[in-house]
Amino acid sequence: MNRPPVSIRDVASMAGVSVGTVSNVLNRPDIVAEATRRRVLDAIRDLGFVRNESARHLRAGHSRTIGLVVLDVANPFFTDVARGVEDSANDAGLAVILCNSDDDPAKESRYLDLLEEQRVQGILITPVATTNHRLEQLRERGTPIVLLDRRATDDTQCSVAVNDVLGGELAVRHLLAQGHEHLAFVGGPFTIRQVQERQQGALQAMRAAGRDPGDLHVVETSALNVAAGRDAAARLAGAMPRPTAVFCANDLLALGVLQEMTRRGVRVPHDVAIVGYDDIDFAAAAAVPLTSVRQPRHLLGRTAAELLIEEATEDSSHQHRQVVFDPELVVRDSSDRTIGRRPRRRRPSPEGAAATPHPA
Amino acid sequence: MNRPPVSIRDVASMAGVSVGTVSNVLNRPDIVAEATRRRVLDAIRDLGFVRNESARHLRAGHSRTIGLVVLDVANPFFTDVARGVEDSANDAGLAVILCNSDDDPAKESRYLDLLEEQRVQGILITPVATTNHRLEQLRERGTPIVLLDRRATDDTQCSVAVNDVLGGELAVRHLLAQGHEHLAFVGGPFTIRQVQERQQGALQAMRAAGRDPGDLHVVETSALNVAAGRDAAARLAGAMPRPTAVFCANDLLALGVLQEMTRRGVRVPHDVAIVGYDDIDFAAAAAVPLTSVRQPRHLLGRTAAELLIEEATEDSSHQHRQVVFDPELVVRDSSDRTIGRRPRRRRPSPEGAAATPHPA
DNA sequence: AGCGGTCGTTGAAACGATTCACCACCACCC
DNA sequence: GGGTGGTGGTGAATCGTTTCAACGACCGCT
């Protein structure tokens, strides 16, 4: 069953050439004579020879892998980011080592050790804490690092993030343009940077429209899930004046608000408009398709990986960049005042994307 | 910035010992005298020495990584499985290299090459095709392979899967127990094994209850998404007699059915009961919380990784095993006939689990 | 014939850690 | 003093590949 491993030396002796020639066939086939090359390739095939990457990399000094450290792959955000990273790495012939820090600094640190021992070409990371001695150290020792979904505070490193303030602005600007007077923001806890920035964007949009930011009815939630959304909607329903438009810090909250409003007989979007954030698959598939702010997650991952690869390949001529992507507003029925005044449009079903290619 | 890499040799000369001793400090610290050990450890710290895994593995003959090849990590099913794999690998001190085959045999093959070159300890894979020459070859050359979410046809390999027939049986048995007479199955296309097996389970449950399997009203869909579910519901609404219970091949279909039924004024669960499959996060958070069949996804990944590690570690005494997990029925409002006849229970909110820990 | 230039191939020296046979040293005891 | 044992450390060989100086063969040119 377990045949002895076959090395370049075995190939060489079978083909009647030196190991150097075999290596040339593998790496610079053009400089080897046609006949020799064929003999070597035949031997490789017959013996089932497979290159040993460890040996290659020992010589090269670094491996053909990059590390990806995220808070949790089970989170759809990171899932899409990971896809982007992988696609990009794949194009460059690199493998991706995936690590979940679970928001735990100790676990993060262990994974960084592991990646450094693997001599990865570079590391993409959403660090648990903002300042991180281990990361500094890694960078000093020559491992390129790119921050994911975090903005670098100085220009000694690359980072890739999405502009959450703009996202909040887009949402509220849209609601104001629809003629809404009484707006609410639902989100929390405010210790989360994203929640804060999205609210900040909402306030900016108010100001820009000449409205008093104090008019924004803020409902702080204890979490970012559907249940919290339902609670928030219950609180909003009793408010005077009742807001006619609600911007939620994420889609789960928005779905909760939608459910509770519907249950209370408040019609969406006729009586109240709702805008969510993240554009998760279910936003489009909800009972009332949800307007939402979409982040270019796949692109985020892709770009981060490209920056990393560039930094790892370029010979110290690399210019660090802090890329910030703009999110995009996807308008659907939940915030569309024209609904009901004209025939219901069946948009080209976006939920096709929500299909599970694998049904399990 | 880029300091020269520091090797075990540098450590040795700084500590005034031989490289062998440094290696001993790293691998068998107990056989080194206290004083020497401390001197070596100090040198390691001062120089910032980091072991080179490539070199270790070149000697060892295999690396401390395992490969995970799935159809698509963006699919929540595989996301959870991947988490399980990673947790397990982490316990064993192994790193996971993540690969998406995208259901493309060519891409799968490329990744298998890459993993073999990395001399991974083993590979966990959901193969695109059922028979796969590359996999045979890999196994013959000594790389342990464990099939994920596929049942091995012979006992020359390990596999880990979930019993889809039983899942279908559980769903329909439950609906029959609730006293439903007219049942429907919604799912498709039937080329998908999971769809087929879930239907088969449904039929078995009918037979076991002494019912004519022909009574099951089957609606084949073209896809497994929300839109297809809505279409199926439209078709069901016109059927005579109209089924009072619908079992859907996955949750997206079920949510589509739920939406369309509600839109048509058909009340769930009063007029029609619905059972889905997969227990995705949104099942619990839907307008009417959805009864669903839950698969132990995390456990699936964990177990697969454990089998793989066992096979890779044990010295040929390994017994191949085909593990099949049983799914579990999670009953919620959508199939609960008692709803409305008694005060609405707010169950301990399961959608807490649906929170995005990372809000982005 | 002698020279310079290609072309194709060779062989050995790296890369960095591990392993193992072997040695130096000391202690102890007959 | 010579044998025995134990402790602690050494140094060379090894893993499989890449790289590069060097070399032989051959050709064309003077």
Average pLDDT over residues A256-260: 94
CA distance B130 to B150: 8
Q: How far is B96 from chain A (nearest CA, A)?
A: 6
Chain A positions touching B74 (Cβ under 8 A) are 76, 79-80, 83
pLDDT for A351: 39
Higher pLDDT among residues A239 and B167, named by residue: B167
Chain B positions touching A72 (Cβ under 8 A) are 83, 357-358
Residue B336 touches chain A, beta carbons under 8 Å = no
Alpha helices in B102-192 (DSSP H): 105-117, 133-140, 164-177
Among residues B239, B248, B301, the alpha carbon closest in space to that of B68 is found at B301
Share of chain B above pLDDT 70, in %: 92
- A74/B83 Cβ within 8 A: yes
Tell me if B258 sits within 8 A of B287, measured CB to CB: yes
Residue A356 pLDDT exceeds 70: no
- A295/B3 Cβ within 8 A: no
CA B134 to chain centre: 23
pLDDT for A339: 64
Among residues A97, A72, A75, A85, the alpha carbon closest in space to that of A300 is found at A85
Tell me which residue in B3, B53, B58 faces A117 most closely, judged by beta carbons. B53
CATH topology of domain B164-294+329-354: Rossmann fold (3.40.50)
Same fold, B8-51 and B164-294+329-354: no
Residue that the structure tokens 């769903």 belong to: B171
Tell me which residue in B75, B224, B360 faces A295 most closely, judged by beta carbons. B360
CA distance B332 to A7: 59
Residue B318 touches chain A, beta carbons under 8 Å = no
Pick out the nucleotide with least CA–C1' distance to A24.
D18
Confidence of residue B348 (pLDDT cuts 50, 70, 90): very low
Among residues A99, A353, A298, A74, the alpha carbon closest in space to that of B78 is found at A74
Confidence of residue A352 (pLDDT cuts 50, 70, 90): very low
Confidence of residue B155 (pLDDT cuts 50, 70, 90): confident
Tell me if A334 sits within 8 A of A291, measured CB to CB: yes
Q: Which of B53, B78, B125, B221 to mutate to test the interface with A (most CBs of A within 10 A)?
A: B53
Spatial distance from the CA of B32 to the C1' of D10 (Å): 13
Residue B102 pLDDT exceeds 80: yes
Residue A159 pLDDT exceeds 90: yes
Chain B positions touching A58 (Cβ under 8 A) are 52, 54-55, 58
Higher pLDDT among residues A325 and B341, named by residue: A325
pLDDT for A10: 95
Tell me if B279 sits within 8 A of B285, measured CB to CB: no
Average pLDDT over residues A165-169: 98
Chain B positions touching A259 (Cβ under 8 A) are 287
pLDDT for B239: 87
Name the residues in B205-264 having a C-beta closer than 7 Å to nucleic acid strand C: none
pLDDT for B357: 42
CATH architecture of the domain with range A62-143+298-326: 3-Layer(aba) Sandwich (3.40)
Share of chain B above pLDDT 90, in %: 81
Confidence of residue A313 (pLDDT cuts 50, 70, 90): confident
Residue B353 pLDDT exceeds 60: no
Write the pLDDT tens digit of every residue in B31-86: 999 999 999 999 999 999 999 999 999 998 889 999 999 999 988 899 999 999 99
Q: Give helix then strand counts, H and E, for chain B.
A: 13, 12
Among residues B337, B355, B169, B335, the alpha carbon closest in space to that of B254 is found at B335
**Cα atoms found within 13 Å of the Cα of residue A297, Cβ hemisphere only:** 19
pLDDT for A302: 97
pLDDT for B153: 84
pLDDT for B257: 96
- B51/A54 Cβ within 8 A: no
Spatial distance from the CA of A232 to the C1' of D18 (Å): 64
Q: Which residues 3-32 of chain A have a CB within 8 Å of chain B?
A: 3, 5
Contact partners, residue B344, CB within 8 Å, separation at least 6: none
pLDDT for B2: 56
Report the amino acid identity of residue A277: Y
Domain B63-163+298-326 belongs in CATH node 1.10.580.10: no
Mean pLDDT for chain B?
91
Lowest mean pLDDT across A247-251, B65-69, B319-323, B342-346: B342-346
* Structural domain spans, chain A: 8-51, 62-143+298-326, 164-294+329-354
pLDDT for B315: 64
Confidence of residue A4 (pLDDT cuts 50, 70, 90): confident
Q: Which of A46, A98, A139 to mutate to test the interface with B (most CBs of B within 10 A)?
A: A98
Write the pLDDT tens digit of every residue in A283-305: 988 889 999 999 999 999 999 99
Tell me which residue in B316, B354, B360 faces A149 most closely, judged by beta carbons. B360
Find which of A153-162, B302-311, B346-355 is predicted with most confidence, using mean pLDDT.
B302-311
Lowest mean pLDDT across A96-100, B74-78, B202-206: B74-78
Share of chain A above pLDDT 90, in %: 81
CA A319 to chain centre: 23
Lowest mean pLDDT across A4-8, A108-112, A202-206, B161-165: A4-8
Q: How far is A271 from chain B (nearest CA, A)?
A: 18
Confidence of residue B355 (pLDDT cuts 50, 70, 90): very low
Mean pLDDT for chain A?
91
Higher pLDDT among residues B162 and B350, named by residue: B162
Average pLDDT over residues A299-314: 94
Class of domain B8-51: mainly alpha
- B50/A54 Cβ within 8 A: no
Contact partners, residue A221, CB within 8 Å, separation at least 6: A186, A187, A188, A189, A228, A229, A231, A232, A249, A253
Spatial distance from the CA of B28 to the C1' of D12 (Å): 20
DSSP class per residue in A77-107: HHHHHHHHHHHHHHHTT-EEEEEE-TT-HHH
Q: What are phi and psi of B287, to 5 degrees?
A: -55, -45
Write the pLDDT tens digit of every residue in B249-292: 999 999 999 999 999 999 999 999 999 999 998 898 888 999 99
- Least CA distance to B297: which residue of chain A? A360
Q: Which residues 192-211 of chain A have a CB within 8 Å of chain B?
A: 192, 194-195
Average pLDDT over residues B317-335: 94
